[in-house]
Structure 1
Protein backbone atom coordinates (compact mmCIF):
# COMPACT_ATOMS: atom_id res chain seq x y z
CA UNK A 1 0.00 0.00 0.00
CA UNK A 2 1.28 3.46 -0.94
CA UNK A 3 0.85 6.00 1.85
CA UNK A 4 -0.33 9.60 1.42
CA UNK A 5 -0.59 10.74 5.05
CA UNK A 6 0.58 9.06 8.23
CA UNK A 7 0.92 9.74 11.95
CA UNK A 8 3.25 8.01 14.37
CA UNK A 9 2.52 7.88 18.12
CA UNK A 10 0.74 11.25 17.88
CA UNK A 11 -0.13 12.85 21.21
CA UNK A 12 -1.69 16.14 22.23
CA UNK A 13 -2.32 17.23 25.82
CA UNK A 14 -3.98 20.33 27.23
CA UNK A 15 -2.86 20.56 30.83
CA UNK A 16 -3.94 17.28 32.40
CA UNK A 17 -6.28 16.36 29.54
CA UNK A 18 -5.05 14.03 26.80
CA UNK A 19 -6.96 14.85 23.61
CA UNK A 20 -4.90 12.68 21.23
CA UNK A 21 -3.47 9.55 22.78
CA UNK A 22 -0.63 7.81 20.86
CA UNK A 23 -2.46 7.64 17.52
CA UNK A 24 -0.89 5.70 14.65
CA UNK A 25 -2.94 6.45 11.54
CA UNK A 26 -2.46 5.75 7.83
CA UNK A 27 -4.26 7.29 4.86
CA UNK A 28 -3.53 5.37 1.67
CA UNK A 29 -2.97 7.08 -1.66
CA UNK A 30 -6.26 7.39 -3.48
CA UNK A 31 -8.24 6.47 -0.37
CA UNK A 32 -11.83 7.35 0.41
CA UNK A 33 -11.41 7.17 4.16
CA UNK A 34 -13.70 8.31 7.00
CA UNK A 35 -12.78 9.32 10.55
CA UNK A 36 -15.63 8.87 13.03
CA UNK A 37 -16.18 8.95 16.75
CA UNK A 38 -18.57 10.31 19.39
CA UNK A 39 -18.54 13.96 20.44
CA UNK A 40 -15.38 14.68 22.42
CA UNK A 41 -13.52 11.78 20.78
CA UNK A 42 -10.66 14.03 19.70
CA UNK A 43 -11.38 14.15 15.94
CA UNK A 44 -11.02 17.92 15.58
CA UNK A 45 -7.86 18.02 17.70
CA UNK A 46 -6.38 15.22 15.59
CA UNK A 47 -7.20 16.94 12.30
CA UNK A 48 -5.86 20.24 13.62
CA UNK A 49 -2.53 18.53 14.16
CA UNK A 50 -2.58 17.14 10.63
CA UNK A 51 -3.16 20.60 9.17
CA UNK A 52 -0.83 22.60 11.41
CA UNK A 53 -3.45 24.43 13.47
CA UNK A 54 -2.06 22.65 16.54
CA UNK A 55 1.41 21.30 17.17
CA UNK A 56 1.54 17.81 18.70
CA UNK A 57 2.89 17.35 22.20
CA UNK A 58 4.82 14.41 20.77
CA UNK A 59 4.82 12.12 17.76
CA UNK A 60 5.16 12.75 14.04
CA UNK A 61 3.04 13.63 10.98
CA UNK A 62 4.21 12.68 7.48
CA UNK A 63 2.78 13.79 4.13
CA UNK A 64 3.88 11.71 1.14
CA UNK A 65 6.79 10.45 3.25
CA UNK A 66 7.94 13.93 4.32
CA UNK A 67 7.96 14.97 7.99
CA UNK A 68 5.61 17.97 8.24
CA UNK A 69 5.12 17.92 12.03
CA UNK A 70 6.45 21.43 12.57
CA UNK A 71 5.47 23.03 9.25
CA UNK A 72 3.02 25.96 9.34
CA UNK A 73 -0.39 25.62 7.72
CA UNK A 74 0.51 27.54 4.56
CA UNK A 75 3.53 25.34 3.91
CA UNK A 76 1.39 22.21 4.23
CA UNK A 77 -1.06 23.55 1.66
CA UNK A 78 1.87 24.19 -0.66
CA UNK A 79 2.95 20.58 -0.23
CA UNK A 80 -0.50 19.25 -1.11
CA UNK A 81 -2.62 19.17 2.07
CA UNK A 82 -5.96 21.02 1.75
CA UNK A 83 -8.88 21.24 4.16
CA UNK A 84 -12.48 22.38 4.42
CA UNK A 85 -14.14 23.33 7.72
CA UNK A 86 -17.45 22.64 9.50
CA UNK A 87 -18.37 26.29 8.84
CA UNK A 88 -17.46 27.45 5.38
CA UNK A 89 -14.57 29.87 4.93
CA UNK A 90 -15.75 31.56 1.75
CA UNK A 91 -15.76 35.24 0.77
CA UNK A 92 -19.46 35.99 0.50
CA UNK A 93 -19.00 39.06 -1.68
CA UNK A 94 -17.16 37.09 -4.36
CA UNK A 95 -18.64 34.91 -7.11
CA UNK A 96 -17.75 31.24 -7.65
CA UNK A 97 -15.62 32.07 -10.69
CA UNK A 98 -13.75 34.71 -8.68
CA UNK A 99 -13.23 32.35 -5.73
CA UNK A 100 -11.90 29.50 -7.86
CA UNK A 101 -9.77 31.85 -9.96
CA UNK A 102 -8.28 33.38 -6.81
CA UNK A 103 -7.14 30.00 -5.43
CA UNK A 104 -5.93 28.82 -8.82
CA UNK A 105 -4.07 32.08 -9.44
CA UNK A 106 -2.30 31.80 -6.09
CA UNK A 107 -1.25 28.22 -6.84
CA UNK A 108 0.02 29.17 -10.28
CA UNK A 109 1.92 32.14 -8.86
CA UNK A 110 -0.12 34.68 -10.80
CA UNK A 111 -0.59 37.06 -7.87
CA UNK A 112 -3.74 38.36 -6.24
CA UNK A 113 -5.59 39.88 -9.21
CA UNK A 114 -7.16 36.82 -10.80
CA UNK A 115 -9.89 38.68 -12.68
CA UNK A 116 -7.34 40.75 -14.56
CA UNK A 117 -5.34 37.59 -15.25
CA UNK A 118 -8.49 35.86 -16.54
CA UNK A 119 -8.52 38.30 -19.44
CA UNK A 120 -5.19 37.09 -20.78
CA UNK A 121 -4.05 33.92 -18.98
CA UNK A 122 -5.20 30.86 -20.94
CA UNK A 123 -3.95 28.39 -18.33
CA UNK A 124 -5.83 30.14 -15.54
CA UNK A 125 -8.98 30.33 -17.68
CA UNK A 126 -8.80 26.64 -18.56
CA UNK A 127 -8.20 25.44 -14.99
CA UNK A 128 -10.92 27.65 -13.54
CA UNK A 129 -13.41 26.47 -16.16
CA UNK A 130 -12.52 22.80 -15.57
CA UNK A 131 -13.09 23.08 -11.81
CA UNK A 132 -16.38 24.96 -12.20
CA UNK A 133 -17.59 22.25 -14.58
CA UNK A 134 -16.41 19.38 -12.35
CA UNK A 135 -18.40 20.75 -9.41
CA UNK A 136 -21.38 21.79 -11.55
CA UNK A 137 -21.05 25.46 -10.76
CA UNK A 138 -21.13 26.78 -14.33
CA UNK A 139 -24.70 28.05 -14.17
CA UNK A 140 -24.12 30.09 -10.98
CA UNK A 141 -20.51 31.12 -11.51
CA UNK A 142 -21.31 34.84 -11.71
CA UNK A 143 -23.68 35.00 -8.72
CA UNK A 144 -22.56 36.40 -5.39
CA UNK A 145 -21.69 33.52 -3.04
CA UNK A 146 -23.59 34.98 -0.07
CA UNK A 147 -26.85 34.79 -2.05
CA UNK A 148 -26.48 31.09 -2.94
CA UNK A 149 -28.12 28.17 -1.10
CA UNK A 150 -25.99 26.59 1.63
CA UNK A 151 -25.53 23.37 -0.31
CA UNK A 152 -24.03 25.30 -3.21
CA UNK A 153 -21.73 27.15 -0.84
CA UNK A 154 -20.41 23.82 0.43
CA UNK A 155 -19.77 22.74 -3.18
CA UNK A 156 -17.86 25.95 -3.78
CA UNK A 157 -15.74 25.45 -0.68
CA UNK A 158 -14.77 21.93 -1.74
CA UNK A 159 -14.12 23.17 -5.28
CA UNK A 160 -11.86 25.91 -3.90
CA UNK A 161 -9.93 23.36 -1.83
CA UNK A 162 -9.59 21.18 -4.94
CA UNK A 163 -8.32 24.19 -6.89
CA UNK A 164 -5.20 24.03 -4.70
CA UNK A 165 -4.55 20.65 -6.41
CA UNK A 166 -4.02 18.73 -3.16
CA UNK A 167 -2.69 15.22 -2.89
CA UNK A 168 -4.65 14.94 0.40
CA UNK A 169 -8.05 16.57 0.95
CA UNK A 170 -9.50 16.71 4.48
CA UNK A 171 -13.25 17.33 4.61
CA UNK A 172 -14.67 18.33 8.01
CA UNK A 173 -18.38 17.45 7.96
CA UNK A 174 -18.91 18.73 4.40
CA UNK A 175 -22.58 17.74 4.33
CA UNK A 176 -23.53 19.30 7.69
CA UNK A 177 -26.53 21.55 7.19
CA UNK A 178 -26.95 20.47 3.57
CA UNK A 179 -30.46 19.22 2.62
CA UNK A 180 -30.66 15.46 2.20
CA UNK A 181 -31.49 15.72 -1.50
CA UNK A 182 -28.21 17.56 -2.12
CA UNK A 183 -25.97 15.42 0.11
CA UNK A 184 -25.74 12.49 -2.26
CA UNK A 185 -24.78 14.74 -5.17
CA UNK A 186 -22.17 16.52 -3.06
CA UNK A 187 -20.53 13.31 -1.88
CA UNK A 188 -20.72 11.75 -5.35
CA UNK A 189 -18.61 14.67 -6.58
CA UNK A 190 -16.07 14.02 -3.84
CA UNK A 191 -16.02 10.27 -4.46
CA UNK A 192 -15.46 10.99 -8.15
CA UNK A 193 -12.37 13.14 -7.65
CA UNK A 194 -9.21 11.92 -9.43
CA UNK A 195 -7.59 8.84 -7.90
CA UNK A 196 -4.44 10.78 -7.07
CA UNK A 197 -6.44 12.80 -4.52
CA UNK A 198 -6.68 10.97 -1.18
CA UNK A 199 -9.76 11.99 0.82
CA UNK A 200 -10.22 11.89 4.60
CA UNK A 201 -13.81 12.59 5.64
CA UNK A 202 -14.65 13.63 9.21
CA UNK A 203 -18.36 12.98 9.63
CA UNK A 204 -21.16 12.17 12.10
CA UNK A 205 -23.74 11.01 9.55
CA UNK A 206 -23.26 7.24 9.57
CA UNK A 207 -25.37 6.58 6.49
CA UNK A 208 -23.21 9.01 4.53
CA UNK A 209 -20.01 7.51 5.95
CA UNK A 210 -20.93 3.96 5.02
CA UNK A 211 -21.98 5.00 1.51
CA UNK A 212 -18.79 6.97 0.89
CA UNK A 213 -15.88 5.31 2.66
CA UNK A 214 -13.94 2.22 1.67
CA UNK A 215 -12.06 2.44 4.97
CA UNK A 216 -13.09 3.80 8.38
CA UNK A 217 -11.11 4.78 11.47
CA UNK A 218 -12.81 5.14 14.85
CA UNK A 219 -11.49 7.46 17.57
CA UNK A 220 -12.78 7.28 21.14
CA UNK A 221 -11.35 9.35 23.99
CA UNK A 222 -8.44 10.39 21.79
CA UNK A 223 -7.39 6.81 21.04
CA UNK A 224 -7.69 4.74 17.91
CA UNK A 225 -10.36 2.16 18.72
CA UNK A 226 -10.68 0.47 15.34
CA UNK A 227 -9.62 0.72 11.71
CA UNK A 228 -10.99 -1.35 8.87
CA UNK A 229 -13.44 -1.76 6.03
CA UNK A 230 -17.03 -0.57 6.52
CA UNK A 231 -18.12 -4.17 7.04
CA UNK A 232 -15.44 -4.78 9.68
CA UNK A 233 -16.34 -1.56 11.52
CA UNK A 234 -20.09 -2.24 11.40
CA UNK A 235 -19.54 -5.69 12.92
CA UNK A 236 -16.92 -4.74 15.51
CA UNK A 237 -18.41 -5.28 19.01
CA UNK A 238 -16.17 -2.62 20.57
CA UNK A 239 -17.28 -0.04 18.01
CA UNK A 240 -20.93 -0.93 18.53
CA UNK A 241 -20.57 -0.54 22.27
CA UNK A 242 -18.68 2.74 22.08
CA UNK A 243 -20.37 4.46 19.20
CA UNK A 244 -22.61 2.80 16.67
CA UNK A 245 -25.02 1.08 19.03
CA UNK A 246 -27.12 -1.51 17.28
CA UNK A 247 -27.60 0.46 14.03
CA UNK A 248 -26.38 -1.86 11.29
CA UNK A 249 -25.10 -1.11 7.81
CA UNK A 250 -24.61 -3.26 4.74
Structure 2
Protein backbone atom coordinates (compact mmCIF):
# COMPACT_ATOMS: atom_id res chain seq x y z
CA UNK A 1 0.00 0.00 0.00
CA UNK A 2 1.24 3.46 -0.92
CA UNK A 3 0.78 5.68 2.11
CA UNK A 4 -0.73 9.10 1.45
CA UNK A 5 -1.06 10.39 5.00
CA UNK A 6 0.40 9.11 8.25
CA UNK A 7 0.60 10.28 11.85
CA UNK A 8 2.92 8.80 14.46
CA UNK A 9 2.06 9.32 18.13
CA UNK A 10 0.60 12.73 17.32
CA UNK A 11 -0.41 14.81 20.34
CA UNK A 12 -1.67 18.32 21.00
CA UNK A 13 -1.79 19.96 24.42
CA UNK A 14 -3.43 23.26 25.29
CA UNK A 15 -1.93 24.02 28.67
CA UNK A 16 -2.98 21.13 30.89
CA UNK A 17 -5.65 19.93 28.46
CA UNK A 18 -4.82 17.15 25.99
CA UNK A 19 -6.88 17.50 22.81
CA UNK A 20 -5.24 14.63 20.92
CA UNK A 21 -3.12 11.99 22.56
CA UNK A 22 -0.64 9.68 20.79
CA UNK A 23 -2.77 9.31 17.64
CA UNK A 24 -1.21 7.04 14.99
CA UNK A 25 -3.00 6.71 11.65
CA UNK A 26 -1.95 5.21 8.32
CA UNK A 27 -4.10 6.18 5.33
CA UNK A 28 -3.42 4.69 1.92
CA UNK A 29 -3.45 6.47 -1.41
CA UNK A 30 -6.98 6.73 -2.80
CA UNK A 31 -8.54 5.71 0.52
CA UNK A 32 -11.96 6.77 1.72
CA UNK A 33 -11.28 7.15 5.42
CA UNK A 34 -13.73 8.53 8.00
CA UNK A 35 -12.98 9.96 11.43
CA UNK A 36 -15.91 9.69 13.82
CA UNK A 37 -16.42 10.23 17.52
CA UNK A 38 -18.57 12.14 19.99
CA UNK A 39 -18.35 15.91 20.36
CA UNK A 40 -15.04 16.91 21.93
CA UNK A 41 -13.27 13.77 20.72
CA UNK A 42 -10.49 15.80 19.06
CA UNK A 43 -11.47 15.28 15.43
CA UNK A 44 -11.20 18.90 14.26
CA UNK A 45 -8.06 19.40 16.34
CA UNK A 46 -6.54 16.47 14.47
CA UNK A 47 -7.46 18.06 11.12
CA UNK A 48 -5.91 21.34 12.27
CA UNK A 49 -2.71 19.48 13.13
CA UNK A 50 -2.64 17.73 9.76
CA UNK A 51 -3.07 21.00 7.86
CA UNK A 52 -0.60 23.01 9.95
CA UNK A 53 -3.20 25.29 11.53
CA UNK A 54 -1.96 24.03 14.93
CA UNK A 55 1.63 23.04 15.71
CA UNK A 56 1.97 19.55 17.14
CA UNK A 57 3.05 19.22 20.77
CA UNK A 58 4.71 15.91 19.93
CA UNK A 59 4.67 13.23 17.28
CA UNK A 60 5.09 13.34 13.50
CA UNK A 61 3.02 13.88 10.36
CA UNK A 62 3.95 12.41 6.97
CA UNK A 63 2.34 13.60 3.75
CA UNK A 64 3.04 11.47 0.68
CA UNK A 65 6.12 10.07 2.40
CA UNK A 66 7.58 13.41 3.51
CA UNK A 67 7.80 14.56 7.11
CA UNK A 68 5.77 17.80 7.19
CA UNK A 69 5.40 18.09 10.98
CA UNK A 70 7.05 21.50 11.11
CA UNK A 71 6.09 22.68 7.61
CA UNK A 72 3.76 25.71 7.40
CA UNK A 73 0.25 25.25 6.05
CA UNK A 74 1.00 26.77 2.62
CA UNK A 75 3.79 24.29 1.97
CA UNK A 76 1.46 21.41 2.80
CA UNK A 77 -1.04 22.83 0.31
CA UNK A 78 1.66 23.03 -2.35
CA UNK A 79 2.50 19.38 -1.68
CA UNK A 80 -1.10 18.38 -2.32
CA UNK A 81 -3.12 18.78 0.89
CA UNK A 82 -6.45 20.64 0.92
CA UNK A 83 -9.33 20.95 3.35
CA UNK A 84 -12.82 22.27 3.92
CA UNK A 85 -14.13 23.73 7.19
CA UNK A 86 -17.08 23.08 9.51
CA UNK A 87 -18.22 26.66 8.90
CA UNK A 88 -17.99 28.06 5.37
CA UNK A 89 -15.17 30.47 4.63
CA UNK A 90 -16.39 32.05 1.41
CA UNK A 91 -16.39 35.54 -0.12
CA UNK A 92 -20.05 36.53 0.17
CA UNK A 93 -19.74 39.29 -2.43
CA UNK A 94 -18.28 37.02 -5.12
CA UNK A 95 -20.06 34.61 -7.45
CA UNK A 96 -19.21 30.90 -7.61
CA UNK A 97 -17.63 31.48 -11.02
CA UNK A 98 -15.40 34.29 -9.77
CA UNK A 99 -14.48 32.38 -6.61
CA UNK A 100 -13.40 29.31 -8.55
CA UNK A 101 -11.59 31.37 -11.19
CA UNK A 102 -9.45 33.02 -8.54
CA UNK A 103 -8.63 29.65 -6.93
CA UNK A 104 -7.71 28.07 -10.26
CA UNK A 105 -5.67 31.10 -11.34
CA UNK A 106 -3.73 31.04 -8.09
CA UNK A 107 -2.83 27.39 -8.64
CA UNK A 108 -1.54 28.26 -12.10
CA UNK A 109 0.29 31.22 -10.49
CA UNK A 110 -1.66 33.57 -12.74
CA UNK A 111 -3.34 35.41 -9.88
CA UNK A 112 -0.66 38.10 -9.80
CA UNK A 113 -1.42 39.18 -13.38
CA UNK A 114 -3.56 42.06 -12.17
CA UNK A 115 -3.49 43.84 -15.53
CA UNK A 116 -5.12 40.93 -17.30
CA UNK A 117 -8.75 39.82 -16.87
CA UNK A 118 -9.14 36.24 -15.69
CA UNK A 119 -11.76 35.70 -18.39
CA UNK A 120 -9.01 36.03 -21.02
CA UNK A 121 -7.10 33.06 -19.60
CA UNK A 122 -8.43 30.03 -21.50
CA UNK A 123 -6.96 27.48 -19.10
CA UNK A 124 -8.58 29.17 -16.11
CA UNK A 125 -11.94 29.57 -17.84
CA UNK A 126 -12.01 25.98 -19.08
CA UNK A 127 -11.14 24.48 -15.70
CA UNK A 128 -13.59 26.77 -13.91
CA UNK A 129 -16.41 25.58 -16.16
CA UNK A 130 -15.45 21.95 -15.51
CA UNK A 131 -15.50 22.54 -11.76
CA UNK A 132 -18.87 24.29 -11.89
CA UNK A 133 -20.29 21.28 -13.70
CA UNK A 134 -18.62 18.80 -11.35
CA UNK A 135 -20.06 20.41 -8.22
CA UNK A 136 -23.46 21.12 -9.76
CA UNK A 137 -23.40 24.92 -9.63
CA UNK A 138 -23.55 25.79 -13.34
CA UNK A 139 -27.09 27.14 -13.03
CA UNK A 140 -26.14 29.53 -10.19
CA UNK A 141 -22.59 30.32 -11.34
CA UNK A 142 -23.24 34.05 -11.54
CA UNK A 143 -25.35 34.48 -8.41
CA UNK A 144 -23.79 36.15 -5.38
CA UNK A 145 -22.53 33.59 -2.88
CA UNK A 146 -24.48 35.35 -0.12
CA UNK A 147 -27.73 34.54 -1.94
CA UNK A 148 -27.05 30.85 -2.43
CA UNK A 149 -28.84 28.22 -0.32
CA UNK A 150 -26.55 26.84 2.35
CA UNK A 151 -26.23 23.46 0.67
CA UNK A 152 -24.91 25.09 -2.49
CA UNK A 153 -22.44 27.11 -0.43
CA UNK A 154 -21.12 23.81 0.94
CA UNK A 155 -20.76 22.51 -2.62
CA UNK A 156 -18.79 25.63 -3.54
CA UNK A 157 -16.41 25.16 -0.62
CA UNK A 158 -15.67 21.61 -1.78
CA UNK A 159 -15.18 22.99 -5.29
CA UNK A 160 -12.63 25.52 -4.03
CA UNK A 161 -10.70 22.69 -2.39
CA UNK A 162 -10.83 20.68 -5.64
CA UNK A 163 -9.52 23.72 -7.54
CA UNK A 164 -6.20 23.13 -5.77
CA UNK A 165 -5.93 19.69 -7.44
CA UNK A 166 -5.29 18.03 -4.08
CA UNK A 167 -3.83 14.57 -3.65
CA UNK A 168 -5.20 14.43 -0.09
CA UNK A 169 -8.50 16.14 0.75
CA UNK A 170 -9.77 16.63 4.31
CA UNK A 171 -13.52 17.23 4.58
CA UNK A 172 -14.64 18.60 7.95
CA UNK A 173 -18.37 17.87 8.29
CA UNK A 174 -19.43 18.76 4.72
CA UNK A 175 -23.10 18.01 5.46
CA UNK A 176 -23.23 19.98 8.73
CA UNK A 177 -26.14 22.43 8.80
CA UNK A 178 -27.37 21.50 5.33
CA UNK A 179 -31.18 21.21 5.17
CA UNK A 180 -32.57 17.76 4.43
CA UNK A 181 -33.84 18.76 0.99
CA UNK A 182 -30.31 19.83 -0.07
CA UNK A 183 -28.33 17.05 1.61
CA UNK A 184 -28.50 14.65 -1.32
CA UNK A 185 -26.45 17.05 -3.48
CA UNK A 186 -23.63 17.12 -0.92
CA UNK A 187 -23.79 13.34 -0.42
CA UNK A 188 -23.65 12.74 -4.18
CA UNK A 189 -20.67 15.05 -4.68
CA UNK A 190 -18.70 13.49 -1.82
CA UNK A 191 -19.35 9.97 -3.11
CA UNK A 192 -18.31 10.87 -6.68
CA UNK A 193 -15.03 12.67 -5.91
CA UNK A 194 -12.03 11.52 -8.01
CA UNK A 195 -10.87 8.03 -7.04
CA UNK A 196 -7.18 8.99 -7.13
CA UNK A 197 -7.70 11.61 -4.40
CA UNK A 198 -7.24 10.35 -0.86
CA UNK A 199 -10.16 11.60 1.23
CA UNK A 200 -10.42 11.88 5.00
CA UNK A 201 -13.94 12.68 6.16
CA UNK A 202 -15.08 13.98 9.55
CA UNK A 203 -18.82 13.61 9.84
CA UNK A 204 -21.61 13.05 12.36
CA UNK A 205 -24.01 11.95 9.63
CA UNK A 206 -23.69 8.17 9.85
CA UNK A 207 -25.57 7.64 6.59
CA UNK A 208 -22.86 9.57 4.79
CA UNK A 209 -20.05 7.88 6.72
CA UNK A 210 -21.17 4.32 6.05
CA UNK A 211 -22.04 4.95 2.41
CA UNK A 212 -18.65 6.58 1.80
CA UNK A 213 -15.89 5.08 3.93
CA UNK A 214 -13.89 1.93 3.35
CA UNK A 215 -12.20 2.39 6.72
CA UNK A 216 -13.25 4.22 9.88
CA UNK A 217 -11.28 5.50 12.87
CA UNK A 218 -13.13 6.24 16.11
CA UNK A 219 -11.69 8.97 18.33
CA UNK A 220 -12.71 9.27 21.97
CA UNK A 221 -11.32 11.88 24.35
CA UNK A 222 -8.45 12.63 21.98
CA UNK A 223 -7.33 9.03 21.57
CA UNK A 224 -7.72 6.49 18.80
CA UNK A 225 -10.33 4.17 20.31
CA UNK A 226 -10.97 1.73 17.46
CA UNK A 227 -10.25 1.37 13.76
CA UNK A 228 -11.71 -0.99 11.20
CA UNK A 229 -14.02 -1.52 8.27
CA UNK A 230 -17.57 -0.10 8.40
CA UNK A 231 -18.82 -3.60 9.17
CA UNK A 232 -16.40 -3.99 12.08
CA UNK A 233 -17.29 -0.59 13.49
CA UNK A 234 -21.03 -1.30 13.19
CA UNK A 235 -20.60 -4.61 15.00
CA UNK A 236 -18.64 -3.10 17.89
CA UNK A 237 -20.55 -3.06 21.17
CA UNK A 238 -18.04 -0.51 22.47
CA UNK A 239 -18.84 1.95 19.67
CA UNK A 240 -22.59 1.45 20.19
CA UNK A 241 -22.07 2.20 23.86
CA UNK A 242 -20.28 5.46 23.03
CA UNK A 243 -22.89 6.67 20.54
CA UNK A 244 -26.09 5.15 21.88
CA UNK A 245 -25.39 4.73 25.56
CA UNK A 246 -25.83 0.96 25.33
CA UNK A 247 -24.20 -1.28 27.92
CA UNK A 248 -21.07 -2.86 26.51
TM-score calculated relative to the size of structure 1: 0.94
Alpha-carbon deviations, 1:192-218, whole Å to 9, x = none? 111111111111122221122121110
Q: In the alignment, does 2:215 pair up with 1:221?
A: no
Alpha-carbon deviations, 1:143-176, whole Å to 9, x = none? 1000111011000010011101101111111111
1:102–1:112 CA contact under 8 A, matched in 2: no
1:100–1:160 CA contact under 8 A, matched in 2: yes
1:80–1:165 CA contact under 8 A, matched in 2: yes
2:105–2:118 CA contact under 8 A, matched in 1: no
Aligned to 2:111: 111
Distance (whole Å) between structure 2 residues aligned to residue 186 and residue 114 of structure 1: 34
What does residue range 126-137 of structure 1 map to in structure 2 within 5 Å? 126-137=126-137
Structure 1: state its 5+ residue gaps. none
TM-score calculated relative to the size of structure 2: 0.94
Aligned to 1:169: 169
Structure 2: state its 5+ residue gaps. none
Deviation at 1:9, TM superposition (A): 0.8
Moved more, 179-188 or 27-36: 179-188
Moved more, 56-65 or 176-185: 176-185
Aligned to 1:26: 26
Alpha-carbon deviations, 1:23-57, whole Å to 9, x = none? 10122211111100011111111111001011111
Deviation at 1:242, TM superposition (A): 2.2
1:102–1:114 CA contact under 8 A, matched in 2: no
What does residue range 1-250 of structure 1 map to in structure 2 within 5 Å? 1-112=1-112, 116-245=116-245
**Residues 115, 84 of structure 1: alpha-carbon distance in 2 compared, 3 angstrom cutoff:** farther
Moved more, 216-225 or 70-79: 70-79
Distance (whole Å) between structure 2 residues aligned to residue 197 and residue 103 of structure 1: 18
1:60–1:69 CA contact under 8 A, matched in 2: yes
Distance (whole Å) between structure 1 residues aligned to residue 191 and residue 217 of structure 2: 18
Alpha-carbon deviations, 1:98-148, whole Å to 9, x = none? 000000000000024689443321111111111111111111111100011
The number of residues matched between the two structures is 246
1:55–1:70 CA contact under 8 A, matched in 2: yes
